Structure 1
Amino acid sequence: MMIRKFGEIAEMVTGTAVGGEAAMLVRGVSKDTRTIEAGNLYVPIIGERFDGHDYAKEAYDRGASATLWQRDRGEPPAGVPAIIVDDTLAALQQLAARYREQLPVRIIGVTGSNGKTTTKDMIAAVLAESYNVFKTEGNLNGDIGLPLMILRMDESTELAVLEMGMRGFGEIELLTQIARPEVAVITMIGEAHLERLGSREGIARAKLEIAAGLRSGGVLVYNGDEPLIEKLLPAAAKPDSMSCVRFGTSDQNDLQLGRVGIEADGSSFTVGSSQEPVYHIPLLGRHNAVNALAAIAVGRHFDLTPEAIASGLRKAQPTGMRIEKLQAPTGLTVLNDAYNASPASTRASLELLGELTGYGRKIVVLGDMLELGGEEEQFHWEIGEFLTPDRYDYVFAYGPLSVHMAEAARLSFPPERVRWFADKEELAQEVASVAAPEDIVLVKGSRGMRLEEVVHKLMTLQL
Structure 2
Amino acid sequence: MFEKTINQTCDMLNVHNDLTKFGHLIIKGVSIDTRKIEKGNLFVPFKGENVDGHQFVRQAIEKGAAAALWDKHVPNPPEDIPVLVVDDPLLALQSLANQYRHQLDLKVVGITGSNGKTTTKDMVANLLATKYKVHKTQGNYNNHIGLPLTILALPQDAEVAVLEMGMSGFGEIELLSEISQPDAAIITNIGESHLQDLGSREGITKAKLEIVQGLKEDGLFAYYGDEHLLEEQVKELSLKRVKTFGRSETNTIYPLGIEMNNAGSYFETSLDKGVTFFLPVLGQHNIHNALAAILIAKEFGVSVEEMKEGLESLKLTQMRMEMTEGQKGEKIINDAYNASPTSMKAAIQLVSELEGFTAKMLVLGDMLELGDNEEEFHLEIGRMIDPDQIQHVYTFGKLAEFIAKGALERFSPENVHSFQDKKELSAELENQTKDGDLILFKASRGMALEEIIEALAKG
TM-score scaled by length of structure 1: 0.96
3-state SS of paired residue (2:189): coil
Matched residue count: 458
Query: Alpha-carbon deviation of 1:241?
Result: 5.5
Match of 1:433 in 2: 431
Match of 1:135 in 2: 136
Match of 1:7 in 2: 7
Identify if the C-alpha distance between structure 1 residues 278 and 24 changes in structure 2 by more than 3 Å, giving closer, same or farther.
Answer: same
3-state SS of paired residue (1:278): strand
Match of 1:126 in 2: 127
Q: In the alignment, is the contact (CA less than 8 A) between 1:367 and 1:398 conserved in 2?
A: yes
- The answer as to 2:458 corresponding to 1:457 is no
Match of 1:329 in 2: 327
Match of 1:16 in 2: 16
Query: Alpha-carbon deviation of 1:416?
Result: 1.1
Query: Alpha-carbon deviation of 1:46?
Result: 2.5
Match of 2:160 in 1: 159
For 1:4 and 1:273, how far apart are their aligned partners in 2? 45
2:330 partner amino acid: L
Which runs of 5 or more residues in structure 2 are unaligned? none
Match of 1:183 in 2: 184
1:308 partner amino acid: E
For 1:132 and 1:171, how far apart are their aligned partners in 2? 28
Match of 1:146 in 2: 147
Query: Alpha-carbon deviation of 1:263?
Result: 2.6
Match of 2:336 in 1: 338
3-state SS of paired residue (1:54): helix
2:413 partner amino acid: P
3-state SS of paired residue (1:207): helix
For 2:43 and 2:100, how far apart are their aligned partners in 1? 16
3-state SS of paired residue (1:26): strand
Match of 1:217 in 2: 218
Query: Alpha-carbon deviation of 1:458?
Result: 1.3
Which residues in structure 2 correspond to 1:229-268 (within 5 Å)?
A: 229-236=230-237, 242-268=240-266
Which residues in structure 2 correspond to 1:1-400 (within 5 Å)?
A: 1-18=1-18, 21-77=22-78, 79-236=80-237, 242-272=240-270, 276-400=274-398
1:318 partner amino acid: L
Match of 1:444 in 2: 442
Q: In the alignment, is the contact (CA less than 8 A) between 2:359 and 2:438 conserved in 1?
A: yes
Superimposed CA distance per residue, residues 229-270 of structure 1 (whole angstroms, 9 cap, x where no aligned partner): 11111334xxx6520110000010010122222233322211
Q: In the alignment, is the contact (CA less than 8 A) between 1:17 and 1:81 conserved in 2?
A: no
3-state SS of paired residue (1:326): strand
Q: In the alignment, is the contact (CA less than 8 A) between 2:14 and 2:87 conserved in 1?
A: no
Query: Alpha-carbon deviation of 1:316?
Result: 1.7
Query: Alpha-carbon deviation of 1:75?
Result: 2.0
For 1:174 and 1:182, how far apart are their aligned partners in 2? 16
3-state SS of paired residue (1:11): helix
1:45 partner amino acid: F
3-state SS of paired residue (2:36): coil
For 2:75 and 2:275, how far apart are their aligned partners in 1? 63
Which runs of 5 or more residues in structure 1 are unaligned? none
Query: Alpha-carbon deviation of 1:205?
Result: 0.4
Query: Alpha-carbon deviation of 1:377?
Result: 0.6
1:234 partner amino acid: K
Query: Alpha-carbon deviation of 1:167?
Result: 0.5
For 1:289 and 1:394, how far apart are their aligned partners in 2? 27
Q: In the alignment, is the contact (CA less than 8 A) between 1:10 and 1:17 conserved in 2?
A: no
Q: In the alignment, is the contact (CA less than 8 A) between 1:367 and 1:445 conserved in 2?
A: yes
3-state SS of paired residue (2:27): strand
Q: In the alignment, is the contact (CA less than 8 A) between 1:7 and 1:17 conserved in 2?
A: no
For 2:17 and 2:25, how far apart are their aligned partners in 1? 11
For 2:114 and 2:399, how far apart are their aligned partners in 1? 20
Superimposed CA distance per residue, residues 70-104 of structure 1 (whole angstroms, 9 cap, x where no aligned partner): 11221234632101112111111111111112122
Q: In the alignment, is the contact (CA less than 8 A) between 2:327 and 2:456 conserved in 1?
A: no
Identify if the C-alpha distance between structure 1 residues 90 and 273 changes in structure 2 by more than 3 Å, giving closer, same or farther.
Answer: closer
For 1:262 and 1:5, how far apart are their aligned partners in 2? 54
Identity rate of aligned residues, in percent?
Answer: 45
Q: In the alignment, is the contact (CA less than 8 A) between 2:328 and 2:433 conserved in 1?
A: no
Please tell me the root mean square deviation across aligned C-alpha atoms, in Å.
1.4
Query: Alpha-carbon deviation of 1:54?
Result: 2.2
For 1:165 and 1:376, how far apart are their aligned partners in 2? 21
For 1:276 and 1:195, how far apart are their aligned partners in 2? 45
Q: In the alignment, is the contact (CA less than 8 A) between 1:18 and 1:82 conserved in 2?
A: no
For 1:393 and 1:24, how far apart are their aligned partners in 2? 65
For 1:56 and 1:111, how far apart are their aligned partners in 2? 34
For 2:380 and 2:244, how far apart are their aligned partners in 1? 29
Q: In the alignment, is the contact (CA less than 8 A) between 1:18 and 1:81 conserved in 2?
A: no
3-state SS of paired residue (1:259): strand
For 2:243 and 2:333, how far apart are their aligned partners in 1? 32
Superimposed CA distance per residue, residues 362-388 of structure 1 (whole angstroms, 9 cap, x where no aligned partner): 110001000000010110010010112
Identify if the C-alpha distance between structure 1 residues 386 and 5 changes in structure 2 by more than 3 Å, giving closer, same or farther.
Answer: same
Query: Alpha-carbon deviation of 1:166?
Result: 0.5
2:368 partner amino acid: L
Match of 1:401 in 2: 399
Identify if the C-alpha distance between structure 1 residues 227 and 241 changes in structure 2 by more than 3 Å, giving closer, same or farther.
Answer: closer
3-state SS of paired residue (1:235): coil
Q: In the alignment, is the contact (CA less than 8 A) between 1:18 and 1:84 conserved in 2?
A: no
For 2:54 and 2:272, how far apart are their aligned partners in 1? 59
For 1:381 and 1:80, how far apart are their aligned partners in 2? 59
Superimposed CA distance per residue, residues 392-434 of structure 1 (whole angstroms, 9 cap, x where no aligned partner): 1111111111111111111111101111111111111111211
Superimposed CA distance per residue, residues 249-301 of structure 1 (whole angstroms, 9 cap, x where no aligned partner): 00100101222222333222111396521111221111001110011000100
